[in-house]
Amino acid sequence: MLGLGENDAILDIGANIGAVSIPVATLLGVEVIAVEASEINAALFCKNVDLNSVKSTLHQVAVISPTIASSNEFVTLYENNGNHGSNSLIKDWNNSFVTKKAQCVPTATLDSLISHALLNQIKLIKIDIEGSDNQALLGFHTLKHICAPIIFEYRIDIGSDKIKKSTKEFAFTLSLSLDLYGVKMNEGKIEFVAFNIECAYENAIALPPTISNKLRSTHPTLFKR
């Protein structure tokens, strides 16, 4: 729908093993710019890139706010037993898993990772970093120069009140310049529904108004009336 091609890139923040971005890159030939803090996940991501002959750049760092990054060269990443996709900088992010160990990971801001040369190349962004999305957004001022949809997880049904508050702040900040929708499946088809900041969504999307208007014109059935 976005018309992505080999000159475009996906920014995958919290890439895990590449389960989301690598299939898209394989299908469309786009480049993947990946950010993944976990050493295990980063290694598996690289293996999947190699197996699928995908163009990619990997940053094995935890993306956080400039304030924290300036005083913390490393932070603790808590690894959840049996589900490395739920690794988080927040110790009590998901209490349904038993945290077995932790690792120290280097820090960075997204602004420090994304060069100006890439701003026009990035046409899709995915962010899923287990409760730290707002921290990453605080260090991503160059986002205003990128015209790309942002796919994100909006889980205000888990975590502490402090985490839920931060998640709502993340969504509110996005809503200041982007059109937010919840993403649902209806009879096997994707559907965008009105975003409610008080509701949890397994998947949500933030669209620049120009892209939102274009999709409403070219794919009107995407949007629930």
Residue 99 lies in a domain: yes
- How much is the pLDDT for 97? 56
**Structural domain contains residue 217:** yes
Q: Is residue 168 part of a domain?
A: yes
Q: Look at residue 1 and tell me if it is in a domain.
A: no
Residue 85 clears pLDDT 80, i.e. is over it: no
**Any domain includes 49:** yes
> Domain of 209?
9-222
* 201 assigned to some structural domain: yes
Distances (CA, A) of 36 to 29, 45, 94, 126, 219: 21, 9, 19, 12, 33
The number of domains in the chain is 1
Condensed to tens digits (0 to 9), the pLDDT of residues 103-144 reads 899 999 999 999 888 999 999 999 999 889 999 999 999 999
Instruction: Report the mean per-residue pLDDT for the chain.
Output: 92
Q: Which pLDDT value is given to residue 94?
A: 65
173-192 burial, b if ≥16 CB within 10 A, otherwise e?
bbeeebbbbbbeeeeeeeeb
Domain-embedded: residue 57: yes
- Strands 201-207, 150-154: pairing is antiparallel
Q: Is 150 within the bounds of a domain?
A: yes
**Assigned token pair, 225:** 């009336």
Give me the CATH number covering residue 194: 3.40.50.150
